[in-house]
Copies of this chain bind each other. A is one copy, B any other.
Amino acid sequence: MSDTNPGSELAARAEALDAADPLGKLRDRFTLPEGVVYLDGNSLGALPAGVAARLAEVVTEQWGTRLIRSWTEGEANWWNAPERIGDRIAPLVGAAAGQVVVGDSTSVNLFKALVGAARLAAPGRTELLVDAATFPTDGYIAESAARMTGLRVVPVDPAAAAGAMGPDTAVVLLNHADYRTGRLHDLPALTAAAHAAGALVVWDLCHTAGALPVGLDAHAVDLAVGCTYKYLNGGPGAPAYLYVAARHQAAFDSPLPGWNGHADPFAMTPSYEAAQGVARARVGTPDILSMLALEAALDAWDGVAVDDVRAKSLALTDFFLDCVAAYVPAGKVELVTPTGHDQRASQVSLRTENADEVMRELISRGVIGDFRAPDVLRFGFTPLYVGFADAERAARALGHIFG
């Protein structure tokens, strides 16, 4: 910490920023424990206020009392939940209705997306380009999808991805943000580059959806997947989603053609005929309790514009970086996240020695971020419930640990 006391000035700035924050009142839509600064919403989003009551009603009334009838009756209408909730997520990722379906895990959806993309790709193309710094499950699933469709995985640094795309490229799999560094990749440019090379592109939105505008339709993305338990606050392991652009749906050929994706599921015919639309990406019976918890969680987005969320996210991370610079002695942490707004998602990653121990100490002081091996402290900023005073307090606690 420097000799002058920056604390009172930064605390005053935080107070002013919070007072002027048009999204500040949204924090009331969440239940957060007293005294905790929660900067791990990029791993598990906080609990939206309406979820507990909705889930109690689902269990007691819809399941306990209406029983099997809730599959098709009334407001419950469990059967339609995957598409209905998909249409709630769609505007948050810049998709028109009818292109997003909820269910399964991100990994399972990625398998559907990659195999589906391989089958949509022009014949004769042999390569599946994969973000080499991707969240690991993407790489593992890509290997399996490649093995089962005859493609070859080619790992690429996203910064060099456009140059690696060529006439052999069938499909490109990229993460919208690097989960370790928080670097945001250029979705519009990389999507255009893939298309220019004649390839399809699959985007993983786990670390951006709900934190910044994605623009799936505007940028003509082919397929995308994402989880709902980070910035969408759907709960631990909440169902993931799959986006299949409308223009690809008629030819989308899922490797997991379960009965829920059938054109007439209750006819129970022995041969498979895919449903029209994105419903063909459904597989088995949807996990209703988790899915309806997610539906309730999405109420936290009522009236919220993603552009406003993005503006606050950048202001929050800018301010956090100012606070870190002021509170943490020089040389103790190294900023891993890009400083340019166009390259920053909604997290700040700091490299430091003994990062695991530092994070444990931070958590014991009520500041919850997370640790990613071997040496990264991650701080996620969820604009719906994180404020500027939280950012200031987190940086101050970090400074004390090194002080």
Binds B, one of A289-297, A302-310, A391-399: A289-297
Residues of B close to A135: CB separation below 8 A:
259, 268
A123 within 8 A of partner (CB): no
Number of copies: 2
- Encode A253-292 as 1/0 by CB contact (under 8 A) with B: 0111111101001111111100000000001111111110
A193 in contact (CB, < 8 A): no
Q: Name which residue of chain B comes closest to A60, CB basis.
A: B52
Complex interface bits, A158-184 against B, C-beta within 8 A gives 1, otherwise 0:
000000000000000000000000000
User: Counting CB contacts under 8 A, is A209 at the interface?
Assistant: no
Give the residues in chain B near A55, CB-CB below 8 Å. Answer: 55-56, 59, 289
A residues 131-180 near B (Cβ < 8 Å) are 132, 135-137, 139-141, 143-144, 148-149, 155
The docked-state distance in angstroms from the alpha carbon of A372 to that of B265 is 12
User: Are the CB atoms of A143 and B285 closer together than 8 Å?
Assistant: no
Distance to closest chain B CB from A200 (angstroms): 19
Interchain CB contact under 8 A, B44 and A284: no
Query: Could you tell me the distance in whole angstroms from the C-beta of A80 to the nearest C-beta in chain B?
Result: 13
Q: Tell me if A240 is interfacial: C-beta within 8 Å of chain B.
A: yes
- Check B33 against A65 for contact (C-beta < 8 Å): yes
Please tell me if A352 contacts chain B, counting CB pairs below 8 Å. no
Say yes or no: A289-B283 contact (C-beta < 8 A), given A55-B59, A107-B258, A269-B136: no
How far in angstroms is the closest Cβ of chain B from A312? 21
* CB of A67 closer than 8 Å to a CB of B: yes
Query: Which B residue sits closest to A294, measured CB to CB?
Result: B289
Binds B, one of A1-9, A11-19, A231-239, A327-335: A231-239
